[in-house]
Amino acid sequence: MKTQMKLICISALLLTLIGSVVAEVRLTVAPQSCRSRPDVVGKCFNVHGRLSVYNGTPSIRLWPIGTKRLLGIIDPNDASNAPGEAILPVDIKSKLDWNKNVFGDFTVCPLTPAQLGRMQTVCIASGKNLIVRERNLTNK
């Protein structure tokens, strides 16, 4: 009986240690770079624009300033279309929320081909010259 209890305690301790090691490894693995994703369908390009959070899918969108176009920031491999950690670089994600827009120069990589009248899906590789502005949400 004592031997069984010792084995159970040792097994529980080992499982706890293994679980903490696995969690630590997950935290140290860097998210996949936008440029190196296997689903990139074309050459990466630069966009001077406004990054905002919208209601709908995709909820994160990039407006290239001076155009009537929106680029959708989404992971096509995520069936829920929920923005995960790999969607935005950390320095950009920390600045963006419902009440703020992020203006800047973004390097994006296409995840879908450009089609007239359709929102193109891209991932953001990086952003420079980032300016955060409060969003003007007025009801008219």
If you search the block for the tokens 């010259």, which residue do you land on?
129
Say if pTM beats, i.e. exceeds, 0.95. no
Q: Where are the domains positioned within the chain?
A: 1-30, 45-134
Report helix, strand or coil for 39: coil
Structure tokens at 114: 């450009």
Q: How far apart are CA 47 and CA 85, in angstroms?
A: 22
pLDDT digits (tens, 9 = 90+) for 7-50: 665 665 555 556 554 444 444 344 568 888 888 999 999 999 99
